[in-house]
Structure 1
Amino acid sequence: MDFSGFEFSQNALNTFKTCPKKFGYKYEQGINWKKEDEEEYYKSLKYGVEFHLMCERYFSNIPVGNFSGDKKYEKFSKWLERVKNVVPIYKDREYLTEYGLSIKIDEESRLNVKYDLAIIYRESGVLCIDIWDWKTENRKINYNDLEKRMQTIVYMSVAYEIIPKIYGKNNEKVRVRMYYYQPEYYLEPIEIKYNEEKFKNDKNKINNLIKEIKKSDFKDKNLNSCKFCEFNMLCNQKNINDIAYEEY
């Protein structure tokens, strides 16, 4: 695969970790389609995108509109009020919505991130960076899963490395924290703290994974993920249900 100009993301890295062959289908061959039997999943995804847009408008000081009386979005007003309570707006802080960053990996590729919300401010002379991510899925998330997620590893690593170069001073102390907030289930966000040791470990994980991807022929596949994969019929020449999967 030619990686000239390739832009890695947490989704791309996570896809390879899930299954190298799936990465090959999506990013080498450019194959991508929806699973016919997961209509509700895509409806939920669209629902989440619309709520993210609502939050973006609020933190950008743009009117969010009135959703009262609309059953499809009846939760939005309640969710937004919860977001307002956990993320108050202060005049001395900068609120960056849908904030994108890109870091150079090597001469041919980059690593990109986009934060739902990044808040930059100083507290007792320390540069503080709060990364917020809104979660609207129906399954309740928990701290242990989130701390190990590729999203957490990539988002916090890039924030720790790049944002101080934009908003800080040379070699100054920086505090980075990431908050996952799921308004359907929580009144308080799940907070993940960060430090220099975590950054070094995460940086090595990311670099090693990218090196592994660039050396791969994308032929290996993870059988544990087949029955949940949109490529299972293309990859295995049949649809793998629970019984057939166990036999396979």
Structure 2
Amino acid sequence: MNNDLRFFNYFLFTQQSISTFEKCPLKFKKRYLEGLKWKSVISEELNRRREIGNNFHIMAHRYFLGIDTGFTEGIEGYEELSRWIEALKTYFPKTDDALYLPEYKLRMAKETLRLEANFDLLVVKKGGIEIWDWKTPGKNKAVDERLKGERLKGSLQSMVYLFVLKEQAQRVVQREIDCSNIRMFYWQPEPVSVLAEISYTDEMHEEFRHTLKRKIDGILEYDYGSFDKKLYRKNCMYCEFNWFCNNERVDFEAVEEDEDFLDQLDWDSIEELR
């Protein structure tokens, strides 16, 4: 009997799990197939930033639900969060002609294309659907926003989110939506900026279909007996399984100095380092 979770119908791929496999197949196996979540001691600063980022997502969720944020001066990063949530309210005044769906999850399964997307916000308007994703500022707030925006446009996250929404749009609005009526935005609260805006097309959808299928099929066909850790050594210093593979602990001082790494780090992956 094959107990490899990759082949179970309920196993869904996310942008984070696919990215993890590309960085290191063994980490994917440990994290997603074996369900190992080793705890590591992370630095105080990285933990602080994780907590503030998570709190902002919670506050945004509650704002779009129309309930009180419930945050008081005692929370970590209160002054930053106060500025950020006010920026959010100013930039996104809620209107009666739009439907706001915060922290919305969509899943799909068509042959090997078994995917899950977790959206920070979907906004349904008469003209179509918008995806909004929050990017809270990192340590280096002076990072080149143009370069950051270009990375986001070409990211695996953009690919998964746009593709899944198009495929499952009927679950959201009870009708088919043309690609031309779907857009995705990456937004940061400080300084207030749309880091990237993506207008979807039929050509992009077919390209994403083939790319995602190729990536997922590669994961399904991978033989762990052929794993060569030397090919993935550059990612070890950030991995919670570094002790298992190399008898070395994660060097969080090096992590905090690597602005390129931190700029691309999302809060889900920081969770894996806890």
Fold shared, TM-score > 0.5 on shorter chain? yes
Are the structure 2 counterparts of residues 162 and 28 from structure 1 closer, same or farther at C-alpha, using a change threshold of 3 Å? Answer: same
Which 4+ residue blocks in structure 1 deviate beyond 6 angstroms? none
Where does residue 126 of structure 2 map in the other structure?
Answer: 122
Distance in 2 of aligned mates of 1:23 and 1:220: 14
Aligned amino acid, residue 133 of structure 1: D
User: In structure 2, what is the equivalent of residue 145 of structure 1?
Assistant: 151
Match of 2:61 in 1: 56
Distance 2:110 2:174 in 1: 22
Contact 1:82 1:187 in 2 (8 A): no
1:97-132 deviation digits (Å, cap 9, x = unpaired) = 11110001427x831111111001113xxxx11111
Tell me, in whole angstroms, the C-alpha distance in 2 between the residues paired with 1:180 and 1:236: 37
Say if 2:198 is the partner of 1:192. Answer: yes
* Matched letter for residue 74 of structure 1: E
1:112 has 2:92 as partner: no
Shift of 1:14: 0.8
2:239 equivalent to 1:229: yes
Structure 1 SS opposite 2:181: strand
Q: Deviation string for 1:23-53 (max 9, x for gaps)?
A: 1111122222233244432332222111111
AA at the equivalent of 1:6: F
d(CA) in 2 for partners of 1:30, 1:179: 32
Contact 2:149/2:195, CA 8 A, preserved across alignment? no
Q: 1:86 to 1:27 in 2, by over 3 A?
A: same
Unaligned runs of 5+ in 1: 243-248
Which blocks of at least 5 consecutive residues in structure 2 are unaligned?
255-274
C-alpha distance 76-169 of structure 1, shift in aligned 2 (>3 A): same
Number of equivalenced pairs: 237
**Segment drifting more, 233-242 vs 10-19:** 233-242
**Residue deviations 1:64-102 (CA, integer Å, cap 9, x gap):** 246458673111121112112322312111100111100
State the superposition RMSD in angstroms. 2.5
Q: Does 1:182 align with 2:158?
A: no
Measured in 1, the distance between the counterparts of 2:179 and 2:216 equals 29
Distance in 2 (alpha carbons) for counterparts of 1:64 and 1:180? 22
1:132 aligns with 2:132: yes
Question: Match of 1:118, as an amino acid?
Answer: L
CA distance in 2, matches of 1:93, 1:217: 48
Aligned-pair distance for 1:160? 1.9
Partner Cα distance (2:177, 2:99) in 1: 21
- Report the TM-score when normalising by structure 1: 0.84
SS of the equivalent of 1:114 reads strand
- The sequence identity of aligned pairs, in percent, is 33
Residue 189 of structure 1, CA deviation: 4.6
Residues 57-76 of structure 1 aligned to structure 2 (within 5 Å):
57-65=62-70, 67=72, 72-76=77-81
Q: Deviations over 1:206-231 (max 9, x none)?
A: 11111110111342441221222221
Match of 1:205 in 2: 211
SS at structure 1 position matched to 2:126: strand
Structure 1 or 2: more helix by fraction: 2
Q: In structure 2, do the counterparts of structure 1 residues 58 and 240 end up closer, same or farther at CA, with 3 Å as the change threshold?
A: closer
Structure 2 equivalent of residue 94 of structure 1: 99
| 1:188 Cα offset (Å) | 3.9
Secondary structure of the 2:223 match is coil
Secondary structure of the residue aligned to 1:210 is helix
* Distance in 2 separating the partners of 1:227 and 1:170: 45
